[in-house]
A and B are shown apart, each in its own frame.
Chain A
Amino acid sequence: MISRHRTQQAAKIIIWVAALATLGVMFWILYQVLEEGLPLLRLEFLLDSPRQMGRTGGIFSTIVGTVALTAVAILIATPLGVGTAVFLREYTRESRISRVIRFGTDCLAGVPSIIFGLFGFVFFVIFLRMGWSILSGGLTLATMILPTIICTAEEAVKSVPYSFREVSYGLGATRWQTIRKVVLPNAFPGILTGVLLSVGRSVGETAAVILTAGSSFLMPDSIFSPIRTMAVHFYILAREGISMEMAYATGAALILLILAINAVANWLLFRHVHRG
Chain B
Amino acid sequence: MNNRSKIFIDHFHFYYGKVQALKDLSLSISARQIFAVLGPARSGKTTLLKSMNRLADLIHGTSHTGKIYIDGREIHGEEMPLPELRRRVGMVFDLPTALPLSIFENIAYGPRLKGISERNRLGEMVEVSLKAAVLWDEVKDRLHSSALKLSGGQQQRLCIARMLALEPEIIMLDEPCSGLDPISTASIEKSLMSLKETYTILLVPHNIQQASRVADRVGFFLGGELIEEGPSEEIFTRPRMKKTEDYISGRFG
- Give residues in A with beta carbon < 8 Å to B: 93, 161, 163-174, 177, 181-182, 186, 276
Contact = CB atoms under 8 A, between A and B. Distances in A.
A164 B55 contact: no
Contacts of B163: 170-171
B25 interface: no
B146 A172 contact: no
A166 B93 contact: yes
A173 B55 contact: no
**Which bucket holds chain B's interface residue count?**
20 to 34
Contacts of A93: 60
Nearest to A178: B113
B97 A172 contact: no
B120 to A, nearest CB: 20
Given A93-B60, A169-B86, A172-B87, A163 B110 contact: no
Q: What 6 A-B pairs have minimum CB-CB distances, sorted nearest first?
A: A172-B87, A276-B102, A171-B110, A172-B83, A172-B86, A163-B97
Contacts, number: 62
A174 B99 contact: no
B84 A172 contact: yes
A173 B55 CA distance: 12
Contacts of A186: 100
B93 A167 contact: yes
A170 B53 contact: yes
Contact of B101 (A161, A165, A174, A276): A276
Given A172-B83, A276-B144, A167 B97 contact: yes
Contact of B95 (A163, A169, A177): A163
A167 B174 CA distance: 13
24 contacts: A93-B60, A161-B97, A163-B93, A164-B99, A165-B58, A166-B55, A167-B93, A170-B53, A171-B86, A171-B87, A171-B113, A172-B83, A172-B86, A172-B87, A172-B113, A172-B166, A173-B109, A174-B82, A174-B83, A177-B113, A181-B109, A182-B99, A276-B145, A276-B146
Contacts of B122: none
B86 to A, nearest CB: 4
A161 B93 CA distance: 14
A166 B162 contact: no
Contact of B109 (A163, A166, A168): A168
Contacts of B229: none
Contacts of B87: 171-172
Interface of B: 53, 55, 58, 60, 82-84, 86-87, 90-91, 93, 95, 97, 99-102, 105, 109-110, 113-114, 144-146, 159, 162-163, 166
Nearest to A276: B102
B110 A164 contact: no
Q: Chain A CB within 10 Å — which of B100, B144, B166 has the most?
A: B100
A164 B110 CA distance: 13
Contacts of B113: 171-173, 177
A170 B102 CA distance: 19
Contacts of A169: 55, 58, 82, 86
Given A173-B113, A276-B102, 16 more contacts: A164-B99, A165-B58, A166-B93, A167-B99, A168-B99, A168-B109, A170-B91, A171-B166, A172-B83, A172-B86, A172-B110, A172-B113, A173-B109, A177-B113, A182-B99, A276-B144
A160 to B, nearest CB: 10
Q: Chain B CB within 10 Å — which of A163, A164, A171 has the most?
A: A171
A170 B86 contact: yes
A96 B163 CA distance: 39
A276 B86 contact: no
Contacts of B162: 171
A133 to B, nearest CB: 43
A181 B110 CA distance: 11
A171 B88 CA distance: 9
Contacts of B93: 163, 166-167, 170
